């Protein structure tokens, strides 16, 4: 019944705003207003308050009608910012941020990782010190995807160094155009600088831009991180499409087909299909809120399969696989976007690092799903200020 409601709304949206003759931002704004941005969000916040699985039918119909997709221009905002804001944001924050985030008018970035805190992000050193109704932030973030385009950043910083590391952090929305924010490009193996270093020097953030309670930054960050895993590895594309579709296309174009290579392709195809079905099941079971460890299964399987598939594609290409258009540094307006097999191969190397490494995904699955003994964590209960660091 509720899926039918969403489909009826889609048909109305398409009739009122034909994608071929409507400006992309206007269309996306109308999609948000119709509650079809994230159907499981509350009404008035881009949703209809119905089960998240109905989004799949909405997206399929919109894709079929060639409606604009904002995701690729604001992947961090869509995949991670929006669920964090709707879960932890005040009414004012939800009202202010969600719509322009969805339309892509305001790009978001995630400011968690630091030079000394990646996998162990809870060990971070970036500081915010209270000054009346404001906070003053100093520190350095790194690997910040699309920071060069971002209007807003999701910032995790330490507000109480005397608490153990998970308890002394607070989460803020930071204005990336505020005085004292400096964004410098970091170049990747593809030649592009999708990500950046971000320096904060005495940046002022009003306390009203805090997301969640003081000292509760880890709980808010967990919502972001769990959604990040689903955003990276949880997509359910049509059977045989995406990377494995590219491998099949290259195989079909190959003149000399040998059984050993065919066998390798079949194995990869099975892996891709098992991942797709696992993600489909997780998507259908998912309820509203923070996704569980199934996001880590999808993220781990996606990352490892993607690397394998593109390595196979490069083998099929032979010498052509070494041809690459240009290594000149560019600062792209999309993340994870590739337009050649060679670039996909290079970009796929990052899949098992971004959003948490494959080793960390295995740790999460070992501890939270299989109930194995936990990783060694000697600093867990010590005040952060007493933890030895470089």
Ligand X SMILES: Cc1cc2nc3c(=O)[nH]c(=O)nc-3n(C[C@H](O)[C@H](O)[C@H](O)COP(=O)(O)OP(=O)(O)OC[C@H]3O[C@@H](n4cnc5c(N)ncnc54)[C@H](O)[C@@H]3O)c2cc1C
Catalytic annotation, residues: 228
Strand 152-158 relative to strand 108-111: parallel, antiparallel, unpaired?
A: parallel
336 vs 44, 111, 194, 246, CA distance in Å? Answer: 31, 18, 8, 16
| Crossing angle of helices 341-348 and 242-253, rounded to 10° | 140
- Alpha-carbon distance of 313 to 245, in angstroms, equals 10
Residues making up the chain, counted from first to last: 390
Among 55, 74, 103, 110, binds ligand X (CB under 6 A): 110
Binding mask 26-65 vs ligand X (x if CB under 6 A, - otherwise)?
----------------------------------------
Among 353, 366, 367, 383, binds ligand X (CB under 6 A): 353
Q: 364 with 297: CB under 8 angstroms? A: no
**Structural tokens at position 100:** 């322009």
CA max distance for the chain = 72
Nearer to ligand X, 62 or 348 (CB): 348
Among 12, 119, 385, 386, binds ligand X (CB under 6 A): 119
Does position 155 bind ligand X by CB under 6 A? Answer: no
Residue with tokens 């999609």: 31
Angle made by CA atoms 8, 75, 322, in degrees to the nearest 5: 120
Report the DSSP beta bridge partners of residue 101: none
Does position 363 bind ligand X by CB under 6 A? Answer: yes
Nearer to ligand X, 294 or 354 (CB): 354
Nearer to ligand X, 28 or 350 (CB): 350
Binding mask 299-338 vs ligand X (x if CB under 6 A, - otherwise)?
----------------------------------------
Does position 360 bind ligand X by CB under 6 A? Answer: yes
Nearer to ligand X, 67 or 228 (CB): 228
Q: Output the 3-class SS for 62-84.
A: HHHCCCCCCHHHCHHHHHHHHHH
Q: How far is the CB of 357 from ligand X (least distance, A)?
A: 3
Q: How far is the CB of 359 from ligand X (least distance, A)?
A: 3
Nearer to ligand X, 24 or 193 (CB): 193
Nearer to ligand X, 93 or 357 (CB): 357
Among 73, 168, 354, 364, binds ligand X (CB under 6 A): 354
Residues 189-208 close enough to bind ligand X by CB under 6 A: 195
- Alpha-carbon distance of 250 to 233, in angstroms, equals 24
301 vs 39, 84, 307, 324, CA distance in Å? Answer: 27, 24, 10, 27
Q: How many residues bind to ligand X according to rule CB under 6 A?
A: 20
Q: How far is the CB of 349 from ligand X (least distance, A)?
A: 8
- What is the rounded radius of gyration, in angstroms, for the C-alpha atoms of the chain? 22
Q: 352 with 303: CB under 8 angstroms? A: yes
Residue with tokens 């769990």: 226
Binding mask 78-107 vs ligand X (x if CB under 6 A, - otherwise)?
------------------------------
Does position 186 bind ligand X by CB under 6 A? Answer: no
Residues 123-152 close enough to bind ligand X by CB under 6 A: 143-145
Instruction: Point out the residue whose Cβ comes nearest to ligand X.
Output: 118
**Structural tokens at position 108:** 């978001």
List of residues contacting ligand X (CB under 6 A): 76, 109-110, 112-113, 118-119, 143-145, 195, 350, 353-354, 356-357, 359-360, 363, 375
């Amino acid at each position: 019944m509720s899926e039918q409601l969403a489909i009826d709304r889609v048909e109305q949206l398409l009739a009122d705003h034909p994608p071929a003759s409507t400006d992309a931002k206007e269309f996306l704004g109308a999609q948000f207003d119709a509650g079809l941005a994230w159907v499981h969000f509350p009404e008035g916040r881009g949703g209809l308050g119905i089960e998240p699985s109905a989004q799949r039918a909405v997206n399929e119909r919109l894709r079929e009608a060639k409606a604009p997709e904002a995701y690729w221009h604001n992947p961090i905002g869509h995949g991670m910012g929006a669920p964090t804001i709707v879960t932890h944001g005040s009414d004012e924050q939800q009202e202010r941020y969600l719509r322009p985030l969805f339309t892509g008018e305001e790009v978001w970035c995630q400011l968690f990782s630091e030079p000394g805190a990646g996998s162990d992000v809870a060990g971070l050193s970036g500081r915010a010190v209270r000054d009346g109704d404001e906070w003053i932030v100093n520190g350095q973030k790194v690997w910040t995807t699309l920071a060069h385009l971002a209007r807003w950043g999701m910032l995790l910083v330490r507000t109480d160094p005397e608490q153990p590391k998970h308890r002394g952090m607070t989460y803020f929305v930071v204005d990336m155009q505020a005085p004292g924010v400096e964004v410098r490009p970091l170049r990747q193996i593809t030649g592009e600088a999708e990500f950046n270093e971000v320096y904060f020097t005495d940046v002022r953030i009003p306390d009203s831009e805090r997301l969640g309670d003081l000292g509760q930054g880890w709980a808010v960050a967990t919502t972001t991180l769990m959604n990040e895993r689903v955003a990276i590895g949880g997509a359910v594309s049509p059977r045989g499409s995406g990377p494995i579709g590219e491998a099949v296309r290259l195989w079909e174009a190959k003149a000399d087909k040998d059984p050993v290579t065919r066998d390798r392709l079949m194995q990869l195809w099975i892996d891709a299909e098992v991942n797709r079905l696992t993600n489909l099941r997780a998507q259908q079971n998912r309820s509203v809120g923070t996704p569980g460890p199934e996001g880590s299964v999808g993220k781990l399987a996606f990352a490892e399969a993607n690397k394998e598939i593109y390595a196979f594609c490069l083998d099929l290409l032979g010498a052509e696989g070494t041809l690459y258009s240009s290594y000149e540094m560019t600062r792209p307006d999309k993340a994870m976007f590739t337009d050649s097999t060679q670039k996909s191969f290079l970009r796929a190397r990052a899949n098992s690092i971004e959003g948490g490494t494959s080793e960390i995904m295995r740790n999460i699955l070992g501890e939270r799903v299989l109930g194995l003994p936990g990783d060694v964590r000697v600093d867990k209960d010590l005040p952060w200020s007493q933890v030895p660091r470089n």
